[in-house]
Amino acid sequence: MSTKYFETWEEYSERRKDHIHPGEEQYMKEVLQNYDAEMLNFILTLIM
């Protein structure tokens, strides 16, 4: 889920432009999708 606190891959890759290294896309997509989702879930859990 995109929020102002978490980047999408599109936003990240735009920021990194043509400096993206081999392996970075695969790794960062996992971070942005899974880890950010986990952190969002944690934030929501704080008021459950």
Partner 1 sequence: MYDEALHQERQSIFEDVYNGRIPKRVPISAWITVDFAIQYSGMDVFEAQWHPDRMEAAFRKVAEEFFADTLPVHDAIRFPAMYEILGAKNFIMGSNGYLQHPEITPMKAEEYGELAKDPIGFIVETLLPRIYSELDTTPEKRSIIMAKAYKAFNDTVGYMNGVLLPKLEKEYGFYQAPAGSGSMTAVPLDYIADQMRGFKEFSSDVRRHKKDILKANAALLPIMLNKGIPPAPNRNNYTFMPLHMPPYMRTKDVEELYLPDLKRIVEEIDAAGGKANLFLEHDWMRFLDHLSEFPENTVYRFEFGDAQKIKDKLGDKFIICGLYPVGLLKTGTEQECIDEAKRLFDILAPGGGYIFDFDKNIITTDSVNIDNLKAVLNFVREYGKY
Residues that bind partner 1 (CB under 8 A): 1, 3-5, 39-48
Q: CB of 44: closest distance to partner 1 in angstroms?
A: 6
Q: CB of 19: closest distance to partner 1 in angstroms?
A: 25
Q: CB of 18: closest distance to partner 1 in angstroms?
A: 30
Distance (Å, rounded) from C-alpha 32 to C-alpha 47? 23
DSSP per-residue letters across the chain: --BTTB--HHHHHHHHGGGPPTTHHHHHHHIIIIIHHHHHHHHHHTT-
Q: Is the Cβ of residue 3 or residue 14 nearer to partner 1 in the bound state? A: 3
